[in-house]
Structure 1
Amino acid sequence: MSESTPQISILVIEDDAGDFGLIRASIRRAGLRRRGGSESLDWASTLVDGVRMATGAKPDVVLLDLSLPDSTGIATVQMMRSVLPDVPIIVLTGADDHQLAAAALEAGAQDYLVKGQFEHDALGRAIRHAVVRQKLESRLRLFEAALNSAANGIVITDVNATVVWANPAFTRMTGISLAEAVGNRPIEMLNTGQQDEDFYRRMWETILDGRVWSGELVNRRKDGSVYDEALTIS
């Protein structure tokens, strides 16, 4: 199967048979098919049935109406998000309500489309983009978990050497919490005076030039005690 015909399974939770028919037609036009070439859609007309189907065979994406017989509004998104935390949800609703759209996205939906108001291929594009975004977000969560579990202290700064993030190992090593570190420069928090301004200037020249800097420093913890640290910065 070619890249132009993505292999994907879609769960539609929609109580109106006519709307489901329009959704099915849009998905067929978009060329979305399940692995093996069969139609990619499963249909549930209530949230309870949707949850049952989703837990039985995990879909790649959920198209969710917010006006179901057994659930309405943002609680519907929240329920599906709790059942499928790693599956993208696209809200399809008849309500052209910007506040509702914002609330749905805040609750975990990837996109919000108003029935009858999206152009020919908008639904197909939204499905493709939602799946790609979800994969990227999953990778980012994996990277974050790896950084958080690292035994070595890791600090991320901007080009002005201001801390924007630090992992738990940094806090264990220095006694400085993430909230205390963000917005400050490591030189201001950790400097013992044993490295002068010229030392740090040369270090940052190396880093900003795109090269890797490695060296040893004597740093200060929050409680005033000092420790030796071997650093690699890129």
Structure 2
Amino acid sequence: MPEKEVIRILYVDDDQEDQKLVSSILKTAKRNKYVVETAQTIDDALNKLKDSYTLFLVGYNPGREEQLNLIKEIKAIRKYAPLIMLTGVDSDTLDKEILNLGAADYLIRGQFDTNTFERRLQYAIRDSKLLESLEKTSKKFRSIFEKAADPFILMDAKSKILEANPIFISKFGLDPHDPDPRKVPFLSDLFLDKYPKDLLLENLKNETESFEIETVITTEEGIIINTQVSVVKQEADQYQVLIKDLSSLKAREEEELNLKKILFYGQDCATFGT
């Protein structure tokens, strides 16, 4: 039987009876082993934030603003730490207020059993790990996006450009964040020929997962570029687009072809001379 994971919890509440109750409930939990440490005051809680807790529980009573401020303090120090509020009040206003501050969930005292409590704790821990992973992935993607040597954009299902890396903005003279609404760029508007433009919009309409189009694109200054446009669906209504400039590639291929012709004719002439 696998060893249970140890989940360290800091429970901040000035009601010691509630703290004892929560500790006793978690002692009967089956999935993991929960070690509950407590703090009765905000200052006591702040002094303990340097320790490596897996999850935070915070008791909340209406009118106690310092308890809401504690959430801000915890999230400022431990951005991804899962945090659950325990309260005796159930209201839509409180729901929005707590969640907007960064709490993962809240539970109404006296309205949960051991299974429900542990399940909510597990969901909060899982979601916090997912959020941290997504942000790290997003930062990694942003780094690749910004440093890519080729034009790289994100667009929606109508080819409206949502984000663009520096090389795209420099090469095509278009910035999706231009404050002038008349300059909202669409990738399809850059395509010179009707067929590839129709093909792009048709693939987007059909939600094709990935496709490539070889087409001629014009810059804002009227420079015409032969390109290969690679499109990959990232999520609902959003696509990654990599634009390869084929002009230099085609020029290089033409140079190589001419060189081969020169070499061939040179060998042919040498053979003929002999």
Same fold (TM over 0.5): yes
> Over the residues paired in the alignment, what is the CA RMSD in angstroms?
3.2
Counting matched residue pairs gives 220
- Structure 2 vs 1, CA of residues 198 and 214 (structure 1 numbering), >3 Å: closer, same or farther? closer
Distance across 2 between alignment mates of 1:227 and 1:11: 62
The AA in structure 2 aligned to 1:113 is L
The 5 Å alignment of 1:96-115 reads: 96-115=90-109
- Structure 2 vs 1, CA of residues 202 and 6 (structure 1 numbering), >3 Å: closer, same or farther? same
Task: State whether residues 6 and 31 of structure 1, in contact with CA within 8 Å, keep that contact through their aligned partners in structure 2.
Answer: no
For residue 133 of structure 2, the aligned residue among 139, 152, 156 is: 139
Deviations, residues 6-55 of structure 1 (Å, cap 9, x unaligned): 44222111221111122112322333545xxxx42222122222222221
| Identity %, equivalent residues | 18
Task: State whether residues 13 and 44 of structure 1, in contact with CA within 8 Å, keep that contact through their aligned partners in structure 2.
Answer: yes
Post-superposition offset of 1:87: 0.7
The AA in structure 2 aligned to 1:81 is K
Distance across 2 between alignment mates of 1:26 and 1:171: 58
Task: State whether residues 64 and 90 of structure 1, in contact with CA within 8 Å, keep that contact through their aligned partners in structure 2.
Answer: yes
Rg larger for: 2
For residue 42 of structure 1, the aligned residue among 37, 51, 55 is: 37
Please report the TM-score for the alignment, with normalisation by the length of structure 1: 0.77
The 5 Å alignment of 1:187-226 reads: 187-188=188-189, 191=190, 195-203=192-200, 208-213=207-212, 215=214, 217-221=216-220, 224=221, 226=223
Q: Point out where structure 1 has 5 or more consecutive residues left out of the alignment.
A: none
Post-superposition offset of 1:157: 3.2
Please name the residue that 2:153 is paired with: 155
For residue 166 of structure 1, the aligned residue among 148, 163, 179 is: 163
Please report the TM-score for the alignment, with normalisation by the length of structure 2: 0.67
Please name the residue that 1:88 is paired with: 82
Please name the residue that 1:177 is paired with: 176
Determine which structure has the larger helix proportion and give its number: 2
Q: 1:40 is paired with a residue of what secondary structure?
A: strand
For residue 54 of structure 1, the aligned residue among 44, 49, 57 is: 49
Please name the residue that 1:128 is paired with: 122
Distance across 2 between alignment mates of 1:63 and 1:87: 11
